[in-house]
Amino acid sequence: MLSRIILTGLLAGGPFLASAQLTTEPARPLAARALAARDSLLKMAAATRFELAEQTWVDLQTPNRTRRHIIRGYAANAKQTDSDGRKKTLIWQHRTIYRRNGRIQEKYTAYLNNRTILEERWLNGSELWIRLRRPQDLKLAAPLSPAVFNGTYARGGYINWNGKNYLLPEALHVQQVR
């Protein structure tokens, strides 16, 4: 019986407490906008990687040093051909370096019409920075079309999304693990 009274009191007071928190914290809307901008940028970067991976074939290269792995994605409908007769135009490249001190550095670069549309860097699975400049439709993009989605993200919580600057609060600087 006592648990029902406590539960009812918590449920009844829940919306009231939430609305009071929103009105007393003026910095909260700015943090929410910054968080939404960061999430939009991360989602658009993931969608770009996925769209480009769908229309490519992969070539894995491991040079003599096994600490460096380079994976390249080539378009299936390009003009140049390799030794197997497949057409080669570089669409994306993912480079992974395993350092002796245990660090894992990764860099992903995506290209469209010989322009860089996405650059990402990770350190031990944590996002260091992202730069995105891509058109709305990757398949119908003209060579000189302006970027529709434009944004950058730096590790300190600095975000620029479609021309607006945001700064994440210190508490939201958690490491992003992909």
Position 11 scores a pLDDT of 41
Kindly state the average pLDDT of the residues 25-34: 72
- Please state the domain extents for the chain: 27-79+87-135+148-169
Collapsed DSSP state (helix, strand, coil) of residue 14: helix
Asked if residue 105 lies in contact with residue 120, where contact means CB atoms within 8 angstroms, the answer is no
Residue 114 or residue 174, greater confidence: 114
Q: What is the pTM of this model?
A: 0.72
Largest alpha-carbon pair distance within the chain? 78
Q: How confident is the model at residue 18 (pLDDT cuts 50, 70, 90)?
A: very low
**Strands in the chain per DSSP E:** 56-61, 68-75, 90-98, 104-112, 115-123, 126-134, 149-154, 158-161, 164-167
Beta strand 56-61 with 68-75: parallel, antiparallel or unpaired?
antiparallel
> What is the structure's pLDDT at 141?
55
pLDDT (0 to 100) of residue 79: 54
Confidence of residue 7 (pLDDT cuts 50, 70, 90): very low
Q: Tens digits of per-residue pLDDT, 139-149? A: 655 555 665 88
